[in-house]
A and B are shown apart, each in its own frame.
Chain A
Amino acid sequence: MNVLLDNLDLFGPFFLRTIELFVLSAVGSLIWGTILAMLRVSPVPVFRAVGTAYVTIARNTPLTLVFAFFVFAYPLLDIVKVDYFPAAVIALTVYTSAFICEVVRSGINTVPVGQAEAGRALGLTFGQILGQVVLPQALRSVVPPLISTLIALLKNTTIAAGFSVAEAGAIRSYLSERGENQLVGLLWVALGFIILVAVLSFVQRSLEKRWSVAR
């Protein structure tokens, strides 16, 4: 208990940083993943090919490697300077959006064709059909896998600790500088993640109950 109480100045801000990293990357990957999903179901073969290529490469590359690229290699290319924290958000977004894309796409596939056909018969435009008929149903049917992907994202934020971002995964190295017991410190970090995951699971269950589509 002392390890936690004596170092609250570490645990507090570092876990906040983790949550910040998680929220920013979650929003980023939801947006980018949905765009990728739309590319993958579009009627234009070129768009489909681009989406498929992106998802295949991103899903089969270790996240640590994506981080390594953005932190070590990208600065050499002299494009736009990014700091460690934004680089971590970009790396997490680039990787997670591929998984979000697959979840959203499977959701779109669960919507019966008749729904959109009915929409078209009523004279709705493409944007209206997508925004008011298909996507709401698709997103509701994929709440559980979507949140599971976000839970994986939350756990993946720890990798940023290996790349100079001061988040929960980095608490250990600071504790070791202070000469604290690392085993106990790590168990507290683990407990922190268990609590955060439990919160997300709770959100998942309540959304599932409230949003389930009767089909």
Chain B
Amino acid sequence: MSNVLFDVPGPKARLRYRGYAVVGIVVVVAFIAYIGWRFYDSGQFTARKWEWLEYAQVQSDLANAVLQTLEAFAAAAVLALIFGAVFAAGRLSDHAWIRGIAGFVVEFFRAIPALILMFLFYFGLPTVGVPTTPFLGVVFGLTLYNGSVLAEVFRAGIQSLPKGQSEAAYALGMRKTQVMFLVLLPQAIRAMLPTIISQLVVLLKDTALGFIITFQELLYYARYIGSQGTFGRPIVPSTIVATGIYVAMCLLLTALATYLERRNRRSKKVLGTPPTAVQEAVAASA
């Protein structure tokens, strides 16, 4: 394996690398052992701190909290995809005023932190007499933020399509709207699918922001269980369990993205997108 930093190692280098590997393993094991010892020493591994997981009520409440997270994710994901498609089409419109409005909306919501958007919906709307719930605050905050990021992703996808696609569609007598929604967007969505899904991973993770506006999702429940004196305040174990669930959910979504990417690469129907456009869109979503 030769890359820009290292040559294929010779016999001496291989020996040296083996030395580094040993040192590396020792350092990592020492670090993990230290953390493990701190956990053990502060009593995080005692049975009392973990027995909450055995209660049927706790289990069903935990499942319920995961369900709340997934509900907020599903609602926000669908709305964000619609928002993104509409505003991507708007930014590519032939009318300057539609382009202007769509561009302003997308840039506006991309620059505001998702949490501030949630605050605006949850704390701001009631001051003008509109009743809201934490769920709606989370869903709308995530929709506006991720929707505007997705709008840029869709736009990069559409702009990467060859001109012949829309020309052919116009030649068949389609209207502008038909060309956009029947020919260009479906191809752009397929080509950008991996990027779109990584943005959905961001959206899934951001549902945990709902904890701050008292939306009772997974993190909220982990914090609640962690503060229960009856179980010996198991905040460390409950944080570990919550992390495991979040990482598992996100990895499942990421695995889907990888699978789709591999399938796309095999089929010749999907046109490749320029890597820089994709890369920028992904980085922007971090």
Contacting pair B5 A116 (CB below 8 A): yes
A211 to B63, CA, bound (A): 51
Contacting pair A159 B239 (CB below 8 A): no
Contacting pair B41 A152 (CB below 8 A): no
Contacting pair B205 A73 (CB below 8 A): no
With an 8 A cutoff between CB atoms, is B146 at the interface?
no
With an 8 A cutoff between CB atoms, is B78 at the interface?
no
A77 to B119, CA, bound (A): 33
Q: Could you tell me the distance in whole angstroms from the C-beta of B215 to the nearest C-beta in chain A?
A: 11
Please indicate which of the listed interface residues A63, A78, A155 has the most CB atoms of chain B within 10 Å of its own CB: A155
Q: Which of B7, B39, B111, B250 contacts A197 (CB 8 A)?
A: B111
A106 to B110, CA, bound (A): 24
A180 to B235, CA, bound (A): 35
Query: Contacts of B20 on A, CB cut-off 8 Å?
Result: 44, 46-47
Contacting pair B120 A77 (CB below 8 A): no
Which A33-63 residues have C-beta < 8 A from chain B? 41-47, 50, 56-57, 59-63
How many A-B residue contacts, CB cutoff 8 Å? 188
Residue of B with least CB distance to A147: B283
With an 8 A cutoff between CB atoms, is B168 at the interface?
no
A6 to B200, CA, bound (A): 40
Query: Contacts of B201 on A, CB cut-off 8 Å?
Result: 60
Q: Which of B17, B28, B116, B286 contacts A186 (CB 8 A)?
A: B116
Query: Contacts of B47 on A, CB cut-off 8 Å?
Result: none
Q: Tell me what chain A mostly uses at the interface: helix, strand, loop, or mixed.
A: helix
Query: Contacts of A156 on B, CB cut-off 8 Å?
Result: 113
Contacting pair A60 B280 (CB below 8 A): no
A28 to B108, CA, bound (A): 28
Please choose the segment from B156-164, B181-189, B241-249 that sits at the chain A interface, where 4 or more of its residues have CB less than 8 A away. Answer: B241-249
Knowing A64-B212, A76-B235 are in contact, say whether A106-B279 is a contact too (CB < 8 A).
yes
A169 to B141, CA, bound (A): 14
Contacting pair A172 B119 (CB below 8 A): yes
Contacting pair A62 B206 (CB below 8 A): yes
Query: Contacts of B44 on A, CB cut-off 8 Å?
Result: 76-77
Contacting pair B3 A41 (CB below 8 A): yes
Which A167-215 residues have C-beta < 8 A from chain B? 169, 172, 176, 181-183, 186-187, 189-190, 193-194, 197-198
Residue of B with least CB distance to A141: B276
A106 to B39, CA, bound (A): 36
